[in-house]
Amino acid sequence: MIYREHYIAPVREFYDSDLIKIITGIRRSGKSIILEQIKNEIGEKTDNVIYLNFEDKRVLANILNSDALIEYIENNRKDGKCYIFLDEIQMLNGWQEACKTLRLYNNSIFITGSNSKLLSKEFTKELSGRYVSFKVRPFVYKEILEYTKELGKEYQIAEYLIWGGFPKIFEFDTLDARIRYLNDLDDTIVINDLINRYKIKKENLFKNLVNYILRSNSRIVSANSIRDYIKGKNEECSINTIIKYISYLEEAYIIENVRQFSTKTKSELAYYLKTYDTDVSFNSIRCMDNRYDITHNLENIVYNELIYMGYKVNVFNNNGREIDFIAKKENKTYYIQVAYSIAEDKTYEREFSAFKNLDNLSQKIIITNDEIDYSTSVVKHIKLKDFLLMESLDDDIR
């Protein structure tokens, strides 16, 4: 497995801190591998290390609550600073209390979890500044190239636009095996985990809603549109239930909802949400007859890559013209349009006109899969194959 320095470097600054280090993100995105890499790095300077994986039934069978965890640590730690690694800690009831106590006694605590309730208001209020959090995502394309090279395999951009970047899929040699793995992963983390965690009784209703949401990536999603879809499936559902189900998908890091930034209000609009899948495979495995949604997956991929680069991203309303992204970092602002191709005149005009009347203080960018450079004096065209290798939007394009 590749060494994911992008995620480890920010954590390294806190190795010896008494702050609880929380590594979050969707299941199977590589959190456990990163935790192990951090553990190995620390293990080079000390053997006062304890690791527990709470997805291991043997661990949960013997450590039933917070008191049992504290007792186990105290009985197995050595003198001096102890480094404690607790993988998928949300499986243990009362883990918060245990972590709060352990950090007081010369322990450096690292935890992972696949539920954003790790960072819920209740929890953060309890800790009140005693933690730092780090979010891990599936592979972006740069990481995919590094890992497939390590495996002696290839993975084309076209494959990335369909099957995404969950790390495990690159270990399989055939497309059938990859699809089978992704379907099993979807059943586990999208359906079964959430149904069991939230004790959802209307399973068919929930599954229909999930299918609609994950096929609607890179689109505006409203509770009303979802309710209309559900009615078409001959089921009834309240707006409150829809909002609640969407929140479950967010809490498990399966989707991210992005707000629109308006030139008129100079602020985010709370009622406008555009949904992006954490990994585009969630869309593709729901497609029939190989009719994959490449256009919307491309925009979703660009969103995921921008987040990886460290940009704060919103959708932008330019006086009625929607710009796919306004991205900000280090006091720099970028307006970004995404299209599969702008070779046709009509598409070219539509995409470039979205930038009309914007000030020239911010960079305007269009990202497409075209080979021809369509840059103008005011708009920078970035080919997708170049964008996927960039560390920053300011990188020189080779």
For the segment 308-337, the average pLDDT, to the nearest whole number, is 94
| Residue 271 confidence class, pLDDT cut points 50, 70, 90 | very low
Q: Which amino acid is at 361?
A: L
Please state the separation of Cα 201 from the chain's center in Å: 27
* Distance from C-alpha of 84 to C-alpha of 98, rounded to nearest angstrom: 12
Alpha-carbon dihedral sign for residues 333, 335, 341, 343: negative
CB-based contact 358:364 (threshold 8 Å): yes
pLDDT per residue over 106-124, tens digit each?
A: 999 999 988 766 665 555 5
For the segment 321-331, the average pLDDT, to the nearest whole number, is 94
For the segment 246-258, the average pLDDT, to the nearest whole number, is 93
pLDDT per residue over 156-198, tens digit each?
A: 999 999 999 999 999 999 999 999 999 999 999 999 999 998 9
pLDDT at 76 over 50: yes
* Distance from C-alpha of 166 to C-alpha of 163, rounded to nearest angstrom: 8
* Distance from C-alpha of 287 to C-alpha of 267, rounded to nearest angstrom: 36
* Distance from C-alpha of 146 to C-alpha of 341, rounded to nearest angstrom: 27
User: Between these two residues, 202 and 120, which has the higher pLDDT value?
Assistant: 202
For the segment 255-278, the average pLDDT, to the nearest whole number, is 72
CB-based contact 237:210 (threshold 8 Å): no
β-pairing, 267-277 vs 219-220, is antiparallel
For the segment 60-73, the average pLDDT, to the nearest whole number, is 96
